[in-house]
Structure 1
Amino acid sequence: MEVLLLLKSVIIAIVEGITEFLPVSSTGHMIIVGDIINFVETSGVNFAHMYEIVIQLGAIIAIMVLYRKKIIDSIIHLKEYGFKMWFYIIIAFLPSAIIGVLVDDIIKAKLFNTFSVSLGLIIGGIILLVVEKYFSTKNVDKQTCDIKNINFKQALGIGCFQVLSLCPGMSRSSSTISGAWIFGCSTKLAAEFSFFLAIPTMIGASAYELLGTDYSNFTFSHGIALIVGFLVAFLVALLVVDIFMKFLRKYPMKYFAYYRIVIAILLIVLVNLNIIKV
């Protein structure tokens, strides 16, 4: 059981590291893969839900490492632009934080399953296609291109779009990038702001999850699985973020939208055929 728990935890962590910053929903993919490999059955429902949230922090730390120069510069130049930048990131963080606390139990009870994730993938994919087509290249010469120049309206708008990601399958990355496009940000800034917004979002979500989890049935093996999963998610994310940014320089994000829709339809078919249990 201990070896099986560790193996399944590593599989989930690899999925998290690959998908956290792609507009395809990391939580949704972890739920789907978790259903396929019966992760809840092996680990227990309390650990599975906590694990799927907390290991995302490992991927977020990868962002902090990769963007350490910008983070340090924003602290050094706090008066010039750093305070404003982080203030707007917190503004963007607040809508999902407040609503997330209010509906967290409902979402876990009703939406943490492959069928709900599939619907989220389709809806989010359609939103991504429409927004990219009509907003990503709109008034290019007037777009905000530097995180130092983002304003209150843009930050709040992006934060409101992040609320969509509370539903598994919608994707935090996809939702925030779509919001950034609508509010006049360039594709590069949309991705970058999404990365920075992930820092308070996932630190807050992980802390909330860790404080609210019942540890009475946890074992030493659970602890080892969490540590290993955290490290795996961190290392995989380190590799994926750079690849993602290079991809954005050459290709549109519609390909991720197509992937979301195709994989969701396939999953709905598999669920209805009882090949995947929900």
Structure 2
Amino acid sequence: MSYWHALLLAIVEGLTEFLPISSTGHMIIASALLGIPVTDFTKLYLVVIQLGAILSVFVVYWRRFFQSFDFYLKLLAAFVPIIVVGLLLKKHIDALLESVTTVAVMLLLGGIVLLFVDKWFPQEDPQEGGHPVTNPSFKEAFLIGLFQCLAVVPGVSRSAATIIGGLTQKLTRRAAAEFAFFLAMPTMAAAAAKDLLDYHQLGIPLTGEQMKLLLFGNAVAFVVALVAIRLFVGFVTKYGFRAFGIYRIIVGGLLLIMLALGINLKLV
């Protein structure tokens, strides 16, 4: 992997990690289009640079992390389901990470869902007696965590699944998006730690150049994600999710057409 590849993948990660369009799916697509060889290090890089993106959450919302201990307990309640599913399905998940077809189908189906999310979960107007939830209970947090488990399939989008889970619990769009950001921190940190441990167990030490690539990718993803978070929260609060649904349908549809035409999008 070159620094040019590392840069492009980190930009894709930073832009898409918190948008409901699947960061993993987009990095798989980008890897295929760039012709980046699939190696153990490439797979590790795609997961570990998510640490840079989630660090931006702490920078943007650092005050929230010092408000109450309940905040951490609710994150734990939401985090438990993905740990169980991740441990049980690790090998199957790794296999799916090499499938552009899976990503294309999930982008398309998820896009159709997002077209209707705003109608299914309209925001209540406080002036008309509505009182939308801005802070989930422990039960609601756990249920949101169950929705996050859908994102083990590449292309589903962890952000989309978690946000929709929040909306089902009557959270506001902003609150659902922000809780998805917070939940990304333990989820992505655990995924990165697990992949680093698995890589170590292969008996292949990281070279100095690979360490530099990981640090570089995390730094780029961090900076890009800082901007993406602020823009996304403002956009989704005002306009909802329909635009992301249309985008997903277009991208997923184009990928399926390319695959049907025999255009090589397989990871090499």
Q: Same fold (TM over 0.5)?
A: yes
Counterpart residue number, 1:108: 94
The correspondence of residues 140-151 of structure 1 with structure 2, limited to 5 A, is: 141-145=130-134, 147=135, 150-151=136-137
Counterpart residue number, 1:134: 120
Identity across matched positions, percent:
38
d(CA) in 1 for partners of 2:205 and 2:172? 47
Counterpart residue number, 1:220: 208
Matched positions, count:
261
Structure 1 runs (4+) greater than 6 angstroms displaced: none
Counterpart residue number, 1:22: 19
Matched, 1:50 2:44: yes
Matched, 1:238 2:226: yes
| Cα 1:199/1:7, change in 2 over 3 Å | same
Q: CA deviation at 1:246?
A: 1.7
Long gaps (5+) in structure 2: none
Counterpart residue number, 2:169: 183
Instruction: State the AA in 2 paired with 1:49.
Output: K
Query: Could you state the TM-score of these two structures normalised by the residue count of structure 2?
Result: 0.92
Q: Is the 8 A contact 1:132 1:254 kept in 2?
A: yes
Q: Secondary structure at the match of 1:274?
A: coil
Matched, 1:263 2:242: no
d(CA) in 1 for partners of 2:262 and 2:45? 26
d(CA) in 1 for partners of 2:83 and 2:42? 21
Q: Which structure carries more helix by proportion?
A: 1
The correspondence of residues 155-234 of structure 1 with structure 2, limited to 5 A, is: 155-213=141-199, 214=202, 216=204, 218-234=206-222
Q: Is the 8 A contact 1:131 1:182 kept in 2?
A: no
Instruction: State the AA in 2 paired with 1:190.
Output: A
Q: Secondary structure at the match of 1:161?
A: helix
* 1:120 counterpart (106, 110, 116): 106
Q: Is the 8 A contact 2:96 2:154 kept in 1?
A: no
d(CA) in 2 for partners of 1:19 and 1:238? 12
d(CA) in 2 for partners of 1:189 and 1:251? 15
Instruction: State the AA in 1 paired with 2:108.
Output: I
Aligned-residue Cα RMSD (Å) equals 1.7
* 2:237 counterpart (249, 257, 263): 249
Q: CA deviation at 1:96?
A: 1.1
d(CA) in 2 for partners of 1:23 and 1:134? 17
d(CA) in 1 for partners of 2:22 and 2:195? 19
Long gaps (5+) in structure 1: 75-81
